[in-house]
Structure 1
Amino acid sequence: MTRSIWKGPFIDGYLLKKVDKVREGGRNEVIKMWSRRSTILPQFVGFTFGVYNGQKHVPVSVNEDMVGHKFGEFAPTRTYYGH
């Protein structure tokens, strides 16, 4: 079941502050984050986020196709070794 439209997308508050700080500074750095449940917004396009997968921060470069998805979808938590 999807989230209702009237509630809007979920984004952790600290994440917006970090993105604004990097945008003001003009630096191109990896933004470390632990919130895998946050939704990717159009204003995040072009940034690189370090999404925590339980062991390390996986670098995720956000492009236009990722908007509307969750950050956790792009940082797998389990390693598939095959059968």
Structure 2
Amino acid sequence: MSRSLWKGPFCEIKIKDSQSLKPLNIKSRRSVILPEFVGRTFNIYNGKSYISCKILETMIGLKFGEFSSTRKKPIHKKKNKQKSK
């Protein structure tokens, strides 16, 4: 079910100073990326650490959580073949 149109997009992030280029730390992965965030760098919390992400025009309307993965990629061990004598 989608959000009502009269409510507008959900965003907990308020930018006070637009000239500041310092990255903002964000814990709200459910917030929608707004057009005023384009060109800014955000540090998105994935539950363990912050992941740096620069906002582009193609990201408008998506959520911050889509750009910071919360799962580790599996690392498979290689089996060593022993030479038989």
TM-score range normalised by the length of the shorter chain = 0.7 to 0.9
Stretches of structure 1 lacking an aligned partner (at least 5 in a row): none
Secondary structure (helix, strand or coil) at the match of 2:16 reads: helix
Q: TM-score, normalised by structure 1?
A: 0.82
Secondary structure (helix, strand or coil) at the match of 2:6 reads: coil
Q: CA RMSD in A?
A: 1.4
Partner of 2:62: 69
Secondary structure (helix, strand or coil) at the match of 1:11 reads: coil
1:31 aligns to 2:47 (yes or no):
no
Structure (1/2) with the larger helix percentage: 1
The one of 41, 63, 78 aligned to 1:48? 41
Stretches of structure 2 lacking an aligned partner (at least 5 in a row): 77-85
Give the Cα separation in 2 of the matches to 1:60 and 1:2: 26
Give the Cα separation in 2 of the matches to 1:53 and 1:59: 11
Which range is displaced more, 2-11 or 57-66? 2-11
Q: Which runs of 4+ in 1 moved over 2 A?
A: none
Secondary structure (helix, strand or coil) at the match of 2:2 reads: coil
Task: Give % identity.
Answer: 45
Give the Cα separation in 2 of the matches to 1:80 and 1:3: 32
Q: TM-score, normalised by structure 2?
A: 0.81
Secondary structure (helix, strand or coil) at the match of 1:72 reads: helix
Partner of 1:78: 71
Partner of 1:10: 10
